[in-house]
């Protein structure tokens, strides 16, 4: 009954959903392409090979899943890899990361007929959903067709768990139908268990396994060396944070360069009003310029390599923070604000390792970042701690691969009904 009411509600909302999609396409043209896929009308003919399907909703999940996708392809060369997403920026990044090595499509909206068309066209042997993508009709359709659903790199904050508990009639059957939950931490596992997950494995965070682009890192280091200026990176900022952080800076000393990289490309033009130059325009910042806009996609390895200290966005507004592991992997001290519930375990580990500092607000974060810029010794210690932290927590991707292999063995055709075990 709950799922029926949910379906009626989202069906009634379809005209609004499509209108919003078209509206977003003004700034991000990819939203206006392949719209039929949103309703399950798939293009291209299947190759006849068995399909492993991985869903990475947006940019963060696309980056996090890159190593897993690469290793799945290497481990199962007789399979096609299909990757779906929901956002234009995510789809664009998937194209940059994987090119023609995988098939890329939109995930259909969660309408029973759209999901049915999608599954009948692609016929996946295994579905891997990144982090917290649980769609009731999609899960039900996969279960009915015997497609095992694996929730990879799964995280569940206490805030999200409260939301799921409010809609238990809808969410409990979906979570119980998952063949396997690969939780990032014991705390995530406990929350999924309380919500009815049948089989849970604590596998760690695949983001610790991400392989930096060495060419981009080398370019970033050379860029910073040519500037011969201290560089403060405001990484993956959300709406309102840029002005908040820039306003917290003291009067300019004529040297500090602040590089601002917004989380979403649709905000580049708006944030440009706060900047004196843009990376997409090609020229390096002039000596008299204080704020430089990082308005290119797929270059976070460049920006972190160019930075002396990074302030992590999404943490000064109630958004739950952004990925601080990239800063740790680059050996860059990370400073973040009070809202880190989406990365609570990684934030805790980084704080305890001495690789990151959590500030109460934007002013305190800027103050700590400036203190670090004036202390080469502290920067070196924090950067080394971050690198050690990443080294110590590698291996989640390999654990995911071993678990995926269970569902891809010939005898595992009915893997969706694997007995529960914690």
Mean pLDDT of the chain: 94
Characterise 198 by phi-psi region: left (phi > 0), alpha (psi -120 to 50), beta (else): alpha
5 within some domain: no
Identify the bridge partners of residue 401 per DSSP, sorted by sequence position: none
Measured between alpha carbons, how far is 351 from 385 in angstroms, rounded to an integer? 10
Sequential DSSP letters for 15-63: HHHHHHHHHHTTT-GGGGSSHHHHTT---S---SS-EEEEE--SHHHHH
Residues near 192 by Cβ (< 8 Å), separated by ≥ 6?
154, 156, 175, 181, 183, 200
Check whether residue 386 and residue 412 sit in a common domain.
no
Check whether residue 361 and residue 404 sit in a common domain.
no
Identify the bridge partners of residue 129 per DSSP, sorted by sequence position: 55, 151
Domain count for the chain, please give it.
2
Check whether residue 169 and residue 303 sit in a common domain.
no
Report whether pLDDT(143) > 90: yes
Q: Indicate which CATH number applies to the domain containing 322.
A: 3.40.50.2000
Give the least confident one: 32-36, 156-160, 408-412: 408-412
Q: Indicate which CATH number applies to the domain containing 193.
A: 3.40.50.11720
Measured between alpha carbons, how far is 351 from 345 in angstroms, rounded to an integer? 10
Structure-token match 């204080």, residue found: 290
Q: What is the CA radius of gyration of the chain?
A: 22
347 within some domain: yes
61 is catalytic: yes
402 within some domain: yes
Check whether residue 182 and residue 220 sit in a common domain.
no
Phi, psi of 127 (to 5 degrees): -115, 130
Report whether pLDDT(416) > 50: no
Contact yes or no for 70/81 (Cβ under 8 A): no
Model confidence at 282, pLDDT cuts 50, 70, 90, reads: confident
Sequential DSSP letters for 356-402: EEE-SSHHHHHHHHHHHHT-HHHHHHHHHHHHHHHHHTTTHHHHHHH
Which letter does DSSP use for residue 238 in this model?
-
Give the pLDDT mean for 380-403: 97
100 within some domain: yes
**3-class DSSP state for residue 81?**
strand
Give the pLDDT mean for 286-295: 96
Check whether residue 170 and residue 40 sit in a common domain.
yes
Sequential DSSP letters for 4-16: HHHHHHHHHTHHH
Sequential DSSP letters for 249-306: S-S--S--EEEEEESSGGGHHHHHTT-SEEGGG-PPPPTT--EEE---SS-HHHHHHH
pTM, 2 dp: 0.89
Question: pLDDT at position 420, please?
Answer: 38
Check whether residue 183 and residue 299 sit in a common domain.
no
Q: What range does the domain containing 381 cover?
A: 214-392
Q: At what angle do helices 2-12 and 168-176 cross, to 10 degrees?
A: 110
10 within some domain: no
9 within some domain: no
Model confidence at 1, pLDDT cuts 50, 70, 90, reads: confident
Check whether residue 172 and residue 222 sit in a common domain.
no
Model confidence at 417, pLDDT cuts 50, 70, 90, reads: very low
Residue 155: how many CA atoms within 13 Å on its side-chain side? 19
> Number of H helices and number of E strands within the chain?
19, 14
Check whether residue 349 and residue 252 sit in a common domain.
yes
Check whether residue 52 and residue 197 sit in a common domain.
yes
Q: Which of 61, 131, 201, 241 is catalytic?
A: 61
Closest CA to 241 of 316, 158, 328: 316
Phi, psi of 3 (to 5 degrees): -70, -35
319 within some domain: yes
Structure-token match 């943490």, residue found: 315
**What is the per-residue pLDDT across 147-201, written as a single tens digit (0 to 9) for each?**
999 999 999 999 899 999 999 999 999 999 999 999 999 999 999 999 999 999 9
**What is the per-residue pLDDT across 119-135, written as a single tens digit (0 to 9) for each?**
999 999 999 999 988 99
Which letter does DSSP use for residue 32 in this model?
G
Check whether residue 357 and residue 413 sit in a common domain.
no
298 within some domain: yes
Residue 80: how many CA atoms within 13 Å on its side-chain side? 15
**3-class DSSP state for residue 337?**
coil
**What is the per-residue pLDDT across 231-248, written as a single tens digit (0 to 9) for each?**
999 999 999 999 999 999
Check whether residue 75 and residue 164 sit in a common domain.
yes
Question: pLDDT at position 47, please?
Answer: 82
Measured between alpha carbons, how far is 189 from 2 in angstroms, rounded to an integer? 25
Check whether residue 174 and residue 220 sit in a common domain.
no
């Amino acid at each position: 009954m709950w799922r029926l009411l949910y379906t009626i509600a989202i069906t009634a909302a379809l005209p609004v959903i499509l209108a919003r999609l078209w509206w977003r396409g003004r700034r991000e043209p990819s939203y206006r392409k392949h719209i039929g896929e949103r309703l399950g009308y798939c293009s291209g003919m299947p190759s006849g090979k068995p399909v492993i399907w991985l869903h990475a909703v947006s940019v963060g999940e696309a980056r996090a899943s890159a190593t897993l996708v690469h290793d799945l392809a290497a481990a199962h060369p007789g399979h096609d890899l299909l990757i779906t997403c929901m956002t234009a920026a995510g789809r664009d990044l998937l194209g940059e990361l994987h090119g023609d090595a995988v098939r890329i499509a939109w995930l259909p909206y969660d309408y029973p007929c759209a999901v049915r068309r999608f599954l009948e066209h692609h016929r996946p042997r295994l579905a891997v959903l990144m982090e917290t993508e649980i769609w009731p009709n999609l899960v039900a359709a996969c279960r009915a067709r015997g497609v095992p659903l694996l929730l990879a790199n799964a995280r569940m904050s206490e805030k999200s768990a409260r939301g799921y508990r409010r809609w238990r009639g809808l969410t409990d059957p979906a979570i119980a139908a998952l063949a396997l939950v690969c939780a990032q931490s014991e705390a995530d596992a406990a929350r999924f268990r309380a919500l009815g997950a049948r089989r849970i494995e604590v596998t760690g965070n695949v983001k610790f396994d991400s392989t930096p682009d060495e060419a981009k890192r080398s370019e970033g280091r050379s860029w910073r060396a040519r500037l011969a200026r201290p560089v403060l990176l405001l990484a993956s900022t959300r709406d309102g944070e840029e002005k908040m952080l820039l306003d917290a800076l003291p009067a300019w000393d004529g040297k500090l360069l602040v590089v601002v990289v917004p989380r979403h490309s649709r905000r580049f033009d708006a944030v440009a009003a706060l900047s004196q130059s843009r990376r997409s325009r090609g020229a390096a910042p002039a000596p008299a310029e204080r704020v430089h806009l990082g308005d290119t996609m797929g270059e976070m390895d460049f920006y972190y390599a160019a930075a002396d200290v990074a302030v992590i966005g999404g943490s000064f507004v109630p958004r739950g923070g952004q990925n601080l592991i990239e800063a740790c992997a680059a050996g860059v001290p990370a400073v973040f604000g009070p809202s880190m519930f989406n990365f609570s375990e990684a934030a805790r580990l980084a704080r305890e390792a001495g690789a990151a500092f959590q500030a109460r607000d934007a002013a305190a974060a800027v103050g700590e970042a400036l203190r670090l810029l004036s202390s080469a010794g502290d920067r070196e210690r924090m950067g080394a701690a971050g690198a050690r932290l990443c080294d110590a927590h590698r291996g989640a991707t390999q654990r995911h691969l071993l678990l995926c292999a269970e569902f891809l063995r010939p005898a595992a055709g009915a893997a969706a009904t694997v007995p529960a075990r914690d």
